[in-house]
Amino acid sequence: MEQQNYQYQENSVFVQENAVSKKFFANVFTWMFVALAISTLAAYFINSSLEAQSYLINPLTGGRTTLGTVAMFAPLALVLIMGAGFSRLSYGVLVGVFILFASLLGISLSYILVVYQLGSVVGCFAAAAGIFGIMAVLGYTTDVDLSKFGPILMVGLVGLIIASVVNWFLQSAQFDYIMSFFGVALFTALTAYDVQKIKRIGLGIEANGDQIVAVDSKKLAIMSALTLYLDFLNIFLFLLRIFGGRK
């Protein structure tokens, strides 16, 4: 009888932890879709208003204005703030910074709708969503430990960043084209890697009702959503650089 009670309690704990993991995972994707929706609406609003566009793009030269340059680099600064201040920022502040990040990113992405044909943008967005979805399912369901590929992926990411900075000065279209293929491959792999990592984070969260743990899990969901959002965004942008038709 005692053994049966022990097995019952053990199964109950497993079910509880599994439910907590699924709830955490659902929160991550909910926040990711919220950010995606905010960015899309912001980009659409800027693109549909010539007056708003004039604040970001100089009508005479077609180049970015000072405000447009700020809008382009501000999301990166906010990502750094969220990462560095994770332990110090409250959940409410973190949510506010996350929403601000998504809004400013949408504003900076509105430039895409000015440069590329709408059909190309929609097509690349759909392709990115398909790739992201497949790799997310793969990362969640696979029994292969993807963590061993982490160092390789991080080296690839650093290499891509360095190559992008170098090409910023070289302005080589051919080099940019080659990097775009590498970028798609890299962030496709990172999607599966990050999803499995997020799944393990969810499994590691203790459902003990402690307030600190509850707050931390919510903050972790925000940061995890940010990671997946950046994976999807980079797949989309690199696909657009390869297949996008310019106006």
Query: pTM, whole model, 2 decimals?
Result: 0.85
Q: How confident is the model at residue 214 (pLDDT cuts 50, 70, 90)?
A: low
Helix (H), strand (E) at residue 173: helix 173-204
Residues 177, 242: contact at Cβ < 8 Å?
Answer: yes
Comparing 39-48, 178-187, 209-218, the range with the smallest average pLDDT is: 209-218
CA distances to 11, 92, 233 from 207, rounded to whole Å, are: 14, 21, 32
DSSP state of 60: T
Select the more confidently predicted residue: 86 or 149: 149
Radius of gyration of the chain (CA): 21
HSE-up of residue 169 (Cα within 13 Å, Cβ side)? 4
Nearest residue to 226 via CA among 130, 97, 113? 97
Count structural domains, the chain. Answer: 1
Confirm if 108 and 71 have CB atoms less than 8 A apart: yes
Distances in Å between the Cα of 136 and the Cα atoms of 113, 126, 168, 185, 231 are 27, 15, 31, 14, 11
| Region for residue 209 given its phi and psi (left: phi exceeds 0; alpha: psi -120 to 50; beta: otherwise) | left
The parent domain of residue 224 ranges over 2-243
pLDDT digits (tens, 9 = 90+) for 26-37: 899 999 999 999
The pLDDT of residue 197 is 93
Question: What is the reported pLDDT for 62?
Answer: 65
Q: Say how far apart CA 28 and CA 24 lie, in whole Å.
A: 6
Cβ count within 10 A of residue 110: 24
> What residues does 116 pair with on adjacent strands?
246
Could you report the per-residue pLDDT of 92-128, keeping only the tens digit for each? Answer: 999 999 999 999 999 888 888 778 888 899 999 999 9
Q: Give pLDDT tens digits for 171-207.
A: 888 999 999 999 999 999 999 999 999 988 887 764 4
